[in-house]
Structures are given as C-alpha cells and as structure tokens.
C-alpha cells in the first residue's frame, strides 16, 4: 500500500484507515490476485520496500512482473479513489469536500499525466537515431544518463499496464482524464523498437550494453501497441472529447513521421466511433489536418492520409465529402493542363503533385462498387497521369487496378456511363486493352 501511494505521489498519513478500506475494496474486486501480488512484493517485505523506495517513487522495479502488478493495482486503487470521492461528495458531506484531503482530485492524477508527458520526451530523445552522424552516446547527449533513461522506460511501462488494465476491466470510465493525458505517449511510443533497430544497423560498433536498453524499449513498444489496440475503440464523451481532438491535431503535426502515421491509424477508428458526437467545427479541423498530410514530405504518411480520407468519405459528412471531391478534381485538372502546356517547371513539388493525385484517388476509392455520375470523369482524369514518374505513376496504376477489381462484376452495365474517349484512356492503363472495350 505504501509503495503504490508513493507512485501516486500522495500521502496517506492521517488517512490510514480510509486508504486501508479503499485497498481492501480493491482486493475484493475482479483483480484480487494481482493486487495481492503487489501487496506481497512491494509492501509485505519490509527490507524490499526500503531498498526499492527510490524506484517505487518513480514507478520503477527490476521485475517486469512487479511493474505489471503495480499497474493493475493502480487501476483498481485509482478508480476506487475516484468512486469514493464521488460518493463522499454526493452523500456524505452534502456536497462539501475537505480541501486538505490527500486523495483530492487534481493531485495524484495530475502527477501521473504530467510525469508521463515529461518522460515521453526523455524516452524519445534517448531513442532518436535518424539524425545521428555517428555512434555517439545519445542519452548523455540529451542531458540524462543511460540509467535514468532505463528508469523512464520502466516507469512508462508501469503506466501502460495501468492503462491496459483500466480499459480491459471497464474501470476506464472514471479515469478518462488520465487516459486522455497519456494518449500521445501511447501513439508515439509504438515505434521505439524500430528506431533502435535502425540504430544498431547503422552503427554496428555500438556498445553491447545497449542490448538491455533495446530489449526494454521493445517491451515498451509492445505495451504501447497493446494499449493502442484497446484505446482506439474507446468512446470519449464531453468534455474529454475536446482534449482528445486537441491531442490528435497535435500528433498529426508531430516532427516524427511515424507518429504522424500512427495518428492516422488511430483516426481511422476514432472517426467511426465519434462521427455522431463530434461538432461540425471539430470534424472540419480533423478533416483539414488529414488533408494537410496529403502533401507530407514522407510518402508513407501521404498514402496513409489518403486511405483515411477514402474511409471518411464512405460514411462521413456529405458536405465535407462533396467539397473535398470537387477541390481534388479541380486541382488535378489544373496540374494536367499545365502538363499539356509543357509547363513542367510550375514550382510544384513532387509531394504536392502526388498529394493532388492521392486526393483524387481517395475520392474514387470511396465508392468501390457504385457508379455515381461524377466517377467517370474522376477515373479518366486519374488515368491520364499514368505516365508520371513514381510515386505518382505507381499510385495511379494501383488505383485504376483497384477500380477495375471492384467494378468487374457489374462492368458490362456500368461501362455505359463512360464515353468512348474515356474508355480508351482507361484501356491504356490496363494490362489488357480489351477489358474496358
């Protein structure tokens, strides 16, 4: 009990009986076995508790099983603290609370979220390898020792166990503010293992002792992915929804392209789950944020953003969909006219041209089996870019091939929507010129 209270950053002095009752209630819950593990390992052994005092204060323990048990116990204890405070507020004190109560909301919960925000930056700095010019000591270069960075990783692992347990057990309903507070760490820390692999490939002479750190990052990435898989299905009501949208918009502009891509993965499910409770302003902000990524410097991010937009157009707001579709067609048409005029040096980058083609592709793939009146013009215009160098040309080939596949069963009827000229253009992009005849 003492060790868990240190993790929360609260004091139970003078409130031992209340804390004891809370913890006993936690032990009677569905995670009784996990709570007992923590009690035995972090409190029951006096010598162990003394030796590990410093590490428990930072949520750190050598044994990953203990860190998991602490995370599970935290989810039980924190949810019970919240429920206890809510019950006391509504029934015991007539709406009056004790401002000196160490369990008061705004102390331990804020500590957890602020600490997580601080450590995610430390961990990311310690794991950066893309901009390295040689096998330097990353952790010391960024202002903290390798031992401290390991402790940061272990603390974050405990936090992810807390999030996973809360989401799995159904206790997340009273801990949503904390879960929202660690949304960015969950999104961004899934990629650490990949970064460490890049580092080891580029600089094979790196110290062998870094293997332990890489293994720890691998565990952290695995936990982040586990939390991410649960978190993306969670529905956030107001007022938490506004904060989630803010985190998403910020993550979509993150300096790390893998974080931007992971944000797109989260958005795909998030929009489906929240489309009916998001305000028009929030939808527009998210839509514009995804559109912006169509011209991202990283091709993987551009393609991911296009796939997300195609999904949104299938079941999103019709006004947003039509506006985006019309703008995508107009922009692609302007580029195509400039190409005809041999104005190759128009000042447009490859990313901007590819983004325009991806926008057109998203519109086409949003109606995989139907043939609305606007589709023939869009598909034909897209096919005219087949001769462009990669990645534009390859995107066109893939999109036309997907269009051909999804409309194959009804093509004998749907081809009547195309003119002879349009069918000829489509035929030039297919492996069989007779397919669109």
Tokens of 396: 């066109």
**Residue 149: pLDDT above 80?**
no
> What is the rounded average pLDDT of the residues 30-53?
41
SS3 at position 318: helix
For 170, left (φ over 0), alpha (ψ -120 to 50), or beta? left
Token pair of 216 as six digits? 């720890």
pLDDT score of 141: 43
Count Cα neighbours of 402 within 13 Å in the Cβ-side half-sphere. Answer: 18
- Mean of pLDDT values over 311-332: 91
Give dist(CA 397, CA 104) in Å, integer: 60
Look at residue 157 and tell me whether its pLDDT is greater than 80. yes
Which residue in the block uniquely carries the two structure tokens 């490939």? 201
Query: Per mean pLDDT, which range of 51-60, 79-88, 168-177, 259-268 is the poorest?
Result: 51-60
Residue 4 clears pLDDT 60, i.e. is over it: no
Q: Which region among 60-64, 328-332, 343-347 has the lowest average model confidence (pLDDT)?
A: 343-347
State the pLDDT confidence band at 64, using cuts at 50, 70 and 90: confident
Integer Cα distance of 152 and 210 in angstroms: 15
73-92 tens-digit pLDDT = 999 988 998 888 877 655 55
Residue 72: per-residue pLDDT? 92
Residue carrying the six token digits 């692999």: 197
Mean pLDDT within 293-317: 93
Give the rounded percent of residues in the chain with a pLDDT score beyond 70. Answer: 68
Specify the range with the lowest mean pLDDT, choosing from 106-110, 205-209, 347-351.
Answer: 205-209
pLDDT band at 140 (very low <50, low <70, confident <90, very high): very low
Higher pLDDT, 103 or 90: 90
Q: Higher pLDDT residue, 147 or 276?
A: 276
Kindly give, in sequence order, each residue whose CB lies less than 8 Å from that of residue 376, ignoring residues fewer than 6 positions away: 417, 418, 419, 422
Q: Omega before 239 cis (within 30°)?
A: yes
Position 316 scores a pLDDT of 72
> Are the C-beta atoms of residues 337 and 381 closer than 8 Å to each other?
no
pLDDT at 416: 94
Query: Cα–Cα distances in Å, from 144 out to 123, 149, 194, 209, 214?
Result: 10, 7, 22, 17, 17
**Distance (Å, whole) CA 110 – CA 116:** 10
Q: What is the pLDDT of residues 184-219, one digit of tens each?
A: 999 999 876 544 444 444 444 444 344 444 445 788
Answer whether 399's CB lies under 8 Å from 382's CB.
yes
Buried b (16+ CB within 10 A) or exposed e, 127-145: bebeeeeebeebbeeeeee
Cα–Cα separations (whole angstroms), residue 372 to 140, 249, 310: 59, 32, 15
DSSP at 370: -
What is the structure's pLDDT at 131? Answer: 41
Q: Of residues 19 and 286, which shows the higher confidence score? A: 286
Look at residue 142 and tell me whether its pLDDT is greater than 50: no
Domain residue spans of the chain: 2-235, 310-429
> Taking 60 as the threshold, does the pLDDT of residue 331 lie above it?
yes
Question: In whole angstroms, what is the distance from residue 378 CA to residue 330 CA?
Answer: 10
Q: What is the pLDDT of residues 121-137, one digit of tens each?
A: 888 877 664 444 444 44
pLDDT of residue 62: 56
Q: What is the largest distance, in Å, between two alpha-carbon atoms of the chain?
A: 86
Closest CA to 293 of 304, 285, 284, 282: 304
Q: For residue 396, name the pLDDT band (cuts at 50, 70, 90).
A: very high
Average pLDDT over residues 246-267: 94
Q: Provide the token pair at 391.
A: 């990645």
Distance of CA 195 to the CA centre of its chain: 17
DSSP of 375-430 = HHHHHHHHHTTTTSPTTHHHHHHHHHHHHHHHTSTTHHHHGGGS-HHHHHHHHHHS
- Name the more confident of 66 and 215: 66
Region 145-173: what's the mean pLDDT? 87
Find the Cα–Cα–Cα–Cα dihedral 170, 172, 174, 176, rounded to 10°.
-160
pLDDT of 234: 94
Give the mean model confidence (pLDDT) for residues 60-71: 79
């Amino acid at each position: 009990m003492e060790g868990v209270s240190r993790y929360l950053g609260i004091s139970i002095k003078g409130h031992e009986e209340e804390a004891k009752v809370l913890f006993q209630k936690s032990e009677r819950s569905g995670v009784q076995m996990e709570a007992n593990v923590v009690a035995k390992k972090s409190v029951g052994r006096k010598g162990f508790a003394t030796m590990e005092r410093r590490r428990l204060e930072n949520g750190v323990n050598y044994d990953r099983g203990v860190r998991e048990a602490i995370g599970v116990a935290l989810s039980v204890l924190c949810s019970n603290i919240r429920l206890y405070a809510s019950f006391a507020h509504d029934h015991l004190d007539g709406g009056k609370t004790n401002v000196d109560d160490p369990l008061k909301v705004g102390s331990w919960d804020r500590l957890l979220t602020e600490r997580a925000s601080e450590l995610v930056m430390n961990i990311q700095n310690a794991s950066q390898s893309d901009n390295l010019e040689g096998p330097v000591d990353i952790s010391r270069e960024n202002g903290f020792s390798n031992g401290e960075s390991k402790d940061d990783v272990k603390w974050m692992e405990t936090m992810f166990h807390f999030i996973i347990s809360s989401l799995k057990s159904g206790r997340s309903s009273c801990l949503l503010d904390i879960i929202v507070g660690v949304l960015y760490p969950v999104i961004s820390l899934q990629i650490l293992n990949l970064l460490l692999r890049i580092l080891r490939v580029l600089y094979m002479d790196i110290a062998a002792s870094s293997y332990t750190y890489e293994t720890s990052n691998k565990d952290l990435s695995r936990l982040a992915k586990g939390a991410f898989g649960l978190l993306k299905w969670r529905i956030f009501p107001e007022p938490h929804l506004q904060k989630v949208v803010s985190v998403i918009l910020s993550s979509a502009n993150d300096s790390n392209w893998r974080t931007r891509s992971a944000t797109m993965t989260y958005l795909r499910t998030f929009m489906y789950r929240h489309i009916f409770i998001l305000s028009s302003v929030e939808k527009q902000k998210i839509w514009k944020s995804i559109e912006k990524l169509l011209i991202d410097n990283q091709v993987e991010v551009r393609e991911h953003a296009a796939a997300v937009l195609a999904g949104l157009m299938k079941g999103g707001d019709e006004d947003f969909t039509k506006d985006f579709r019309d703008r995508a067609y107009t922009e692609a048409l302007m580029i195509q006219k400039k190409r005809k005029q041999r104005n190759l040096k128009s000042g447009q980058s490859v990313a901007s041209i590819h983004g325009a083609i991806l926008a057109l592709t998203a519109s086409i793939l949003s109606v995989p089996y139907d043939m609305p009146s606007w589709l023939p013009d869009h598909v034909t215009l897209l096919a005219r870019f087949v001769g462009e160098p990669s990645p534009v040309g390859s995107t066109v080939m893939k999109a036309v091939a997907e269009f051909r596949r999804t409309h194959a069963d009804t093509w004998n009827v749907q081809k009547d929507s195309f003119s002879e000229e349009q069918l000829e253009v489509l035929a030039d992009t297919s492996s069989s010129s007779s397919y669109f005849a």
